[in-house]
């Protein structure tokens, strides 16, 4: 949607095709809702720099959908963490981001070395969706079609013709943008473009209610198989995710194909009990987490980033015949949407 808006400003005629009934039903809705500000990526300086660069701009542009009221706690475990507290403090100091040590006993009963108050925010995906839809609707040269699953393309004289087996409408275009996240390879392969080396994870975000004593906080233990409790819908609910238990299954095929197929009516059994057990190992006994429901989605990780945990934006243009092109955009984070601007300005 940001690409459509940006290209419209550059006088392009744009058409948005979305297979679901609405925008923001997939990864952009089912995620931790964290507006990243460096902390999460001490092992990938490049992702940290990118998220920092766009942090303030995103807060300005989407201020109406940002929750700034929570106190954000990052904690470092005594053992198993890939980053220790000295490294975390040095990292924050080097990058000039706030990190104030707090009394870890406020939240954690054991296994935590140090805990810090930091500066990060949460976003409300639905508010962002509604705003972006309005932005799109008021631009006369952008059309949007929902329930339109692109599954066929054909070359016709100087154009690419796009069609769908669930809709009679056809579209012809010179330039196609593939921003389909978990289905990115499916669309690339339709165009005979190379597939991207990707690992898919069937991911579970648990929505929960938390006891009063942590209702104004969010808690993240980094940097390994730990967990986060974050505000969702600006804090009406909380999300619980665990690096160990959120992924149910990995898939290394060209397109996601899980045994616990999230698109069928059979929804995988929740990992909440395991997540809860994990939180109980660390958190004070008076902190309560009550299950509400689970949201399942596919998380996409570029295979090249599995070791340093980076979440870059991948943008690549493939030239097709007759001056046509396919531009594939894989977005690693929400607040790095602005990266496409440099790409379009340098590749017109």
Ligand X SMILES: Cc1cc2nc3c(=O)[nH]c(=O)nc-3n(C[C@H](O)[C@H](O)[C@H](O)COP(=O)(O)OP(=O)(O)OC[C@H]3O[C@@H](n4cnc5c(N)ncnc54)[C@H](O)[C@@H]3O)c2cc1C
306-345: which residues touch ligand X (CB under 6 A)?
Answer: 331-335
State the minimum distance, in angstroms, from the CB of residue 166 to ligand X.
10
DSSP letters, 218-230, are: EEEEESSS-EEEE
Give whichever of 20 and 158 is closer to ligand X, judged by the CB atom.
20
Does residue number 16 form part of the binding site for ligand X (CB under 6 A)?
A: no
Burial-class residue 342 by CB neighbours within 10 Å (0-12, 13-18, 19+).
exposed
Contact at 8 Å (CB) between 116 and 75?
yes
State the minimum distance, in angstroms, from the CB of residue 21 to ligand X.
9
Give whichever of 32 and 271 is closer to ligand X, judged by the CB atom.
32
Sole window of 58-66, 181-189, 210-218, 314-322 interacting with ligand X (rule: CB under 6 A): 181-189
State the minimum distance, in angstroms, from the CB of residue 183 to ligand X.
4
Give whichever of 76 and 340 is closer to ligand X, judged by the CB atom.
340
Contact residue for ligand X among 111, 131, 159, 181 (CB under 6 A): 181
Question: Is residue 223 reached through a cis peptide bond, with omega within 30 degrees of 0 on the bond before it?
Answer: yes
Contact residue for ligand X among 47, 118, 297, 328 (CB under 6 A): 297
Q: Which alpha helices (DSSP H) does the chain contain, by range?
A: 2-9, 45-61, 85-95, 125-137, 184-190, 272-282, 339-346
- What letters, b where the CB count within 10 A reaches 16 and e where it falls short, cover 11-24? eeebbbbbbeeebb
182-211: which residues touch ligand X (CB under 6 A)?
Answer: 183, 187, 203, 205
State the minimum distance, in angstroms, from the CB of residue 110 to ligand X.
27
Q: Which of 348, 343, 346, 347 is nearest to 2 (CA)?
A: 343
Q: Residue 70, SS3?
A: coil
Does residue number 256 form part of the binding site for ligand X (CB under 6 A)?
A: no
Does residue number 281 form part of the binding site for ligand X (CB under 6 A)?
A: no
Using DSSP, how many helices (H) and how many strands (E) does the chain show? Answer: 7, 20
Does residue number 129 form part of the binding site for ligand X (CB under 6 A)?
A: no
Does residue number 254 form part of the binding site for ligand X (CB under 6 A)?
A: no
Distances (CA, A) of 191 to 132, 161, 164, 207, 317: 28, 11, 14, 38, 12
How many residues touch ligand X (CB under 6 A)? Answer: 30
Does residue number 162 form part of the binding site for ligand X (CB under 6 A)?
A: no
22-41: which residues touch ligand X (CB under 6 A)?
Answer: 25-28, 31-34, 36
Give whichever of 203 and 229 is closer to ligand X, judged by the CB atom.
203
State the minimum distance, in angstroms, from the CB of residue 332 to ligand X.
5
Give whichever of 167 and 284 is closer to ligand X, judged by the CB atom.
167
Q: Which of 304, 311, 223 is nearest to 45 (CA)?
A: 311
Give whichever of 32 and 81 is closer to ligand X, judged by the CB atom.
32
DSSP letters, 198-264, are: EEEEEEEEEEEEE-GGGTTEEEEEESSS-EEEEEEGGGTEEEEEETTTSEEEEE-SSS---SS-TTS
Binding stretches for ligand X (CB under 6 A): 17-20, 25-28, 31-34, 36, 149-151, 179-181, 183, 187, 203, 205, 297, 299, 331-335
């Amino acid at each position: 949607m940001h690409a459509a808006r940006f290209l419209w400003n550059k006088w392009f005629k744009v058409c948005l095709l979305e297979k679901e009934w609405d925008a923001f039903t997939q990864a952009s809705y089912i995620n931790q809702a964290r507006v990243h500000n460096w902390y999460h990526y001490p092992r990938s300086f490049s992702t940290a720099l990118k998220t920092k660069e766009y942090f303030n701009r995103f807060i300005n542009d989407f201020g109406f959908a940002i929750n700034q009221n929570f106190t954000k706690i990052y904690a470092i475990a005594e053992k198993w963490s890939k980053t220790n507290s000295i490294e975390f403090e040095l990292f924050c100091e080097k990058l000039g981001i706030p990190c104030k040590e707090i009394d870890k006993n406020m939240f954690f009963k054991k296994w935590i070395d140090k805990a810090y108050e930091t500066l990060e925010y949460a976003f409300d995906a639905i508010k962002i969706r509604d705003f972006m839809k309005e932005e799109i609707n008021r631009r006369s040269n952008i059309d949007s079609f929902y329930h339109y699953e692109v599954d066929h393309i054909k070359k016709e004289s100087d154009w690419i013709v796009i069609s769908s087996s669930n809709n009679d409408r056809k579209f012809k275009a010179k330039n196609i943008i593939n921003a389909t996240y978990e289905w990115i390879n499916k669309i690339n392969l339709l165009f005979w473009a190379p597939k991207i080396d990707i690992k898919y994870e069937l991911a579970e975000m648990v929505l929960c209610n938390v006891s009063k004593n942590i209702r104004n906080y969010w808690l993240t233990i980094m940097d390994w198989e730990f967990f986060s409790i974050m505000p969702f819908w600006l804090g009406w609910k909380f999300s619980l995710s665990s690096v160990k238990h959120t992924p149910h299954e990995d898939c290394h095929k060209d397109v996601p194909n899980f045994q616990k197929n999230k698109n069928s009516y059979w929804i995988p059994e929740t990992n909440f009990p395991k997540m809860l057990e994990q939180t109980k190992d660390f958190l004070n006994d008076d902190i309560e987490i009550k299950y509400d429901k689970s949201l399942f989605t596919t998380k996409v990780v570029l295979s090249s980033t599995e070791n340093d945990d980076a979440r870059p934006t991948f943008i690549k243009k493939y030239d097709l015949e007759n001056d046509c092109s396919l531009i594939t955009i894989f977005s690693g984070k929400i607040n790095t949407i602005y990266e496409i601007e440099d790409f379009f300005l340098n590749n017109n």
